[in-house]
Chains A and B, each alone.
Chain A
Amino acid sequence: MKSLNLRSMAKGATARVVRLWIFGLAVAGALTTLPAATPAAAHGERSQQAFLRMRTLNWYDVKWSKTELNVNDEMELTGKVHVFSGWPQAVARPGESFLNVGEPGPVLIRKSAFVGEVPVPRTFSMDVGKDYEYKIVLKARRQGRYHVHVQINVKDGGPIVGPGQWITIKGDMKDFTNPVTLLEGSTIDLETYGITWTYIYHFFWMAAATAWILYWFMTKGIIVRYWQVKAGKGRELIGQDEKRIGAITLAAVLLAVLVFYAAANREFPRTLPMQAGLLTGISPIDEPRSTVAVQFKGGSYTVPGRELRIRAKVTNNGKEPIRLGEFTSAGLRFLNPEVFTTRPDFPDYLLADRGLSVSDLNPIAPGETRDLEVIVQDARFDIERLSDLAYDTDSQFGGLLFFFSPSGERQRAEIGGPVIPKFQAGASL
């Protein structure tokens, strides 16, 4: 007996030690991780593979009409997107796409969205190699500071996130309203519409179910019933009286269903099925064909130096001399300071205003063809994890080059192709 007690005491002590260890580990885990936790600042765009971000959608001219709003204020998120010609084989083509917003929950609501002139609350189709203009009207809903991106979801390709900007919303979400006019003429506040009735209806049925369960539970409970069933007296538990109660309850339930159904039909005599569909034939941006032709001649990426070197043959078919001013890819903008003398208004984390240099600074004359070496170098390349290109299974880069003439005219040219990674600084192309 004594040895048994000792054994059980030893077992108890071991269990206590194990529990203490687990508790200690949990506390240590919390103490070491929680102080380092910072608010989520982005929506996972950096986690997307570099080739995916560089060679699918090239975002440019992205603008947020406001960065500070009060609750109920509206802003516009506008810009253009180039659907890259060398769309990766690993990603489904954008035959079914949806213009979206990357934000932490509906802190701004989307009042309307357009691609070109076409409203796109629905799915739409884009063609590879074309450029599209978009506009999203957003209305501030919840107070706070949020990172708001443009985003296009591609069916079977996933969300492709564009540049993001910090938006500050002041006020209180309690004051937010979302008035909507119905086709029959009345106006409702969609923010709260129908919610009270939804609660009433659901909790009415939940109360009825609770009453039903408790009624049966309170008559003989669980254990006694188990004994009776075990003793072969299960049939006695459900007699005619019980069946009568059941039948009356069922009749009442079905009657209630009927009454609620009829009342809904009476109150809302004209209803529609939900609407969905694919919008095809949306026109791309209608602008003159670019007068600059760019041919990719090879490239390399120096991993430690965060430097992308591109060799390209550039032909100027225009009437004015041109200079390369910008390379953009995956929402990042690398600017040539020789061309951009003032810093454009764009989120700092995506703007490398001295990130682009060219082997030959002289303007390319009309009709001239010149071999250029374009050097894209900035820490942002690494911070935004584009240097992971070297580790992708399809190590090809992609992006847009922007050339500028003295009169301020901008010409756009797509560039992309395989790059060779250099894992040592100073290695030549």
Chain B
Amino acid sequence: MSASTETGSPAGKTWKSKEEFLGCVILTDWILLVILFAVLLGSFHIHYMLLAGDWDFWIDFKDRRMWPTVTPIVAMCFAAAAQSFFWTRFRLPIGATTVVLALLIGEWINRYDNFWGWTFFPINLVFPSALIPMGFWLDIVLMISGSWLVTALLGGLGWGLLFYPINWPVLAQYHQATEIDGVLLTLADLIGFNYVRTGTPEYIRMVERGTLRTFGKDVVPVAAFFSGFISMLVYFLWWNMGKWFSTTKYIEIEEV
């Protein structure tokens, strides 16, 4: 890591040498990175589990309409807020990528240790949704455009559109057809049926409910566009939320 004092750091005479000062900066950077990562991991994980919940927990909830609609929208909240913080304070184009990586690390720990390790649900039932390329997209659109407005519009739309294609490489294999006792199922349905969940009966799956039937079988693009549109709005809101959260307030010494 390179660090410089050219901008007039408060090095002053506090440090014995420039090397000691730089070492202190680098160490603090690493401490900050680890703390930030842990805070984002914990907070985003809770947010995502509460709002995406079953859609992200189970393979048989990952349908082509509700899942690609809901999941990107709720994931956008922290991505926008983190971008606001990392970009406006540090000009770092890593906000969205950092939060989705943090989320996925948290999710994988949870899925492996809790879902598999404690309750023996196979990983192919409980793996999380892939989000990383969406993080890249959002960060790089912001970096190239330098505008949060453009990122909200273009980045938000792409965020929704990319979600399903990103996940399809893993999901496709579980959408192969099989049958049990004369009933047609996908492998995703069958995994959900085989591996008993006492509190997750079949009827709570929101698999293509509603009246969106005009587009025939091509429901994914419609869901993705809708998700992208809502993600734009969410981006505006949560960018400002992030801005508000990254404000530093001081209490003047005279007031103490």
Contacts and interface: CB of A to CB of B under 8 A. Distances in A.
Interface of A: 43, 96-98, 100-114, 119, 121-123, 141-142, 151, 153, 155, 159, 173, 178, 180-184, 188, 190-195, 197-199, 201-202, 205-206, 208-210, 212-213, 216-229, 231, 233-234, 237-238, 242-243, 246-247, 249-250, 253-254, 256-258, 260-261, 263-265, 267-268, 270-276, 278
A181 B101 contact: no
B25 A223 contact: yes
Contact of A173 (B90, B108, B120, B191): B120
B89 A243 contact: no
B177 A183 contact: yes
B7 A233 contact: yes
Q: Which 10 A-B pairs have the closest CB atoms?
A: A98-B201, A119-B181, A153-B201, A271-B175, A205-B132, A105-B119, A221-B29, A260-B169, A276-B207, A106-B195
Contacts of A111: 180, 194
A218 B1 contact: yes
Contact of A273 (B133, B135, B175): B175
Nearest to A248: B140
Contacts of B26: 221
A331 B64 CA distance: 40
Classify the interface of chain A: helix, strand, loop or mixed: mixed
Given A153-B203, A276-B205, A265 B172 contact: yes
A113 B2 CA distance: 64
Contacts of A246: 93, 139-140, 143-144
A217 B94 contact: yes
Given A151-B198, A220-B2, A250 B193 contact: no
A122 B29 contact: no
Given A233-B7, A250-B137, A250-B141, 19 more contacts: A106-B194, A111-B180, A111-B194, A121-B183, A122-B183, A122-B202, A183-B178, A184-B177, A193-B124, A194-B173, A202-B104, A206-B105, A213-B94, A221-B1, A226-B89, A242-B93, A250-B136, A257-B133, A276-B207
B237 interface: no
Interface of B: 1-4, 7-9, 25-26, 28-29, 32-33, 60, 62-64, 88-94, 97-98, 100-101, 104-105, 108, 118-124, 127-128, 130, 132-133, 135-137, 139-141, 143-144, 146, 162, 165-166, 168-191, 193-199, 201-205, 207-208, 217
Contacts of B8: 227, 231
A111 B3 CA distance: 61
A238 B168 CA distance: 34
A105 B118 CA distance: 9
Contacts of A234: 91
A201 B136 contact: no
A198 B129 CA distance: 10
5 contacts: A109-B196, A122-B202, A208-B132, A220-B1, A274-B175
B125 to A, nearest CB: 9
Contacts of B202: 98, 121-123, 276
A111 B180 CA distance: 8
Contact of A229 (B89, B105, B141, B191): B89
